[in-house]
Structure 1
């Protein structure tokens, strides 16, 4: 069990070939609009240069670029997601083309890590997520276990975001896929 309050291992332990951590309690938020990039850069974030790419920030948070003008910010376990929660709390409609997309209640968040991650994901998803194809910083908006997911390769782990109402179902599906890799 991790000492971080925001991580709760629900699969194999972190020392196994594959570990599943529930990060649903960490802050996450989206921003969309033609001025979103300028707004986020002005707030000190480094942004991906193209859609379906992600950048890890110095504080351990991540920014995934989902389209030309949409960004998904994922909080860092190091600060319990505080920086991202603060960004959501301080946002104000300023009549620019930058819109807040609250994601805390809409998206659940799992972290899948370990050497067997590509094999586990192959059991759930038709997209090739092997490291030589889906390297660090890659983002896939796809389907896994028959639900829509966003998969972000942050180097050493996949961040998986999906409909919060499907949390129990998706966790069970991932755990089932992980069984083959239990030591």
Structure 2
């Protein structure tokens, strides 16, 4: 018999989260926590969160910017820049006419999921780019994130060269990755998006690079306000 309460979406990393506490978010589940260890401490030092089941979507075209402004989004003024919205979602501008929207944990990604559901093809040049099934989403956090990524990526991601609001479309660990420097205030973090089929490999590579700094996977409960 079909379980009607089962999540509609599961991360490709679901088998890696065996034994973790899971929390329903949108159409899927995210890890709430792995152990009783100090995950807040890990978060501030070197943590890795799987956000693949949180909503994300893209828009492209000459009319994409106007569409998003009408929908209430603040947009970066140049490509390879990102802006965090008041609700905690992020808008990354990938080119002159392409935008990537990343959902907020505050509403379980519902606003961004609604943008995808509500889009309709019209006369204007604004095209939907579904990203839920094409890209996986990880968040790397803590004071050592630049040093971790330096092992995997040739781009200088130190704060002085890659400040908040920066976006890099590059190669890391020999796969294509979008890196967005955006997240909760006062917490260094990179949003990492890669091909969904490669995320299992990328997860292992990141954990190996994090090992020197005592990094471990972290659940979303560690992000909750104290």
Deviations, residues 76-109 of structure 1 (Å, cap 9, x unaligned): 0111100000000000001110000000000000
Is 1:37 matched with 2:68?
no
Aligned residues: 182
Runs of 4 or more, structure 1, over 4 Å off, are 1-7
TM-score normalised to the size of structure 1? 0.94
1:136 aligns with 2:169: no
Say whether the 8 Å CA contact 1:24–1:108 is kept in structure 2.
yes
Query: Please, which runs of 5 or more residues in structure 1 have no aligned partner?
Result: none
Matched, 1:161 2:189: no
C-alpha RMSD of matched pairs (Å)? 1.8
Tell me the equivalent position of 1:61: 89
- Bigger drift between 147-156 and 1-10 goes to 1-10
User: How do 1:24-173 residues align onto structure 2 when only pairs under 5 Å count?
Assistant: 24-155=52-183, 156-173=188-205
C-alpha distance in 1 between matches for 2:70 and 2:173: 38
Unaligned runs of 5+ in 2: 1-19, 216-226
SS in 2 for 1:124: coil
TM-score, length basis structure 2? 0.77
